[in-house]
Amino acid sequence: MTAETPLKIAPKASLRKQVEELSGQSVSACFQCQKCTNGCPVTFAMDIMPHKLIRLIHLGQVDLVLRSKTIWVCASCETCTTRCPNNIDIAHLMDTLRQMCQQKGIKSPHQNIPVFHKEFLSSIKRHGRMNELEMAAMYTLKSTGPAGLVKQANQGRTMFSKGKIKLVPYNVRQKKQVKDIFKKAGGKR
C-alpha cells in the first residue's frame, strides 16, 4: 500500500472572485455538505464531483475546473441547485464555467457536447422552443457528418411514424420575447 502525496494548492482568491462575479453565485458560501453530488444523476460520468469542483473554485483553481469533463457532462437538471442549503445555483455556475471555456478557447474533452449546446440553443432561438427533428438533424450532421445523418434516418422515420416527432416545427407565439432574451444575454448563438 502506498500513500499518495497530497496535491499542494495555493489559493487564488482573485480567480474565485472572478467566477463569483461572472456567475452571481457565492461559491464561498459552500460548506461541502455534498448534497449536490449526492443528488446529481450524472456523477458516474464526471471526473470531478460537483462539491469538489466548487471547492476547487473556492481555492481559485479555475484552470483545473475549466479543463474538467464535469462542466460539460452536467445536464443542467438543477437537482444540485434545489438541494443546496446555501442557495448556490450550481447549474448556473456550470453554465458560467462553460461560457468561460468558450471565451478562453478551451476545448471540451467531449467534442460533441458544445455542438449539442449550440444546436439546442439555436433551435430555441429560431422557434421559441426546441424542434426535435431540426436539432437532432443539425447535431448529427455537425458531429458525425452526412454518414451519421444517413445512419440516423431510419430511427427518425420510425419516430415520425409513431408520432414522436413532427416534420413542421411548432413556433411559440412570443418568439420576439425569446429573441429579446437572447439579445439581452448577449448570445450570438
- Which residues of the chain fall below pLDDT 70? 1-3, 7, 187-189
Q: Which three cell numbers stand for residue 167?
A: 416534420
Predicted local confidence at residue 43, as pLDDT = 94
Which parts of 31-111 fold into alpha helices (H)?
Answer: 35-39, 50-58, 62-66, 70-73, 79-83, 90-104
Amino acid at 179: K
pTM of the complete model = 0.69
- Domains identified in the chain and CATH numbers: 13-104 (1.10.1060.10), 112-185 (no CATH)
pLDDT of amino acid 189? 42
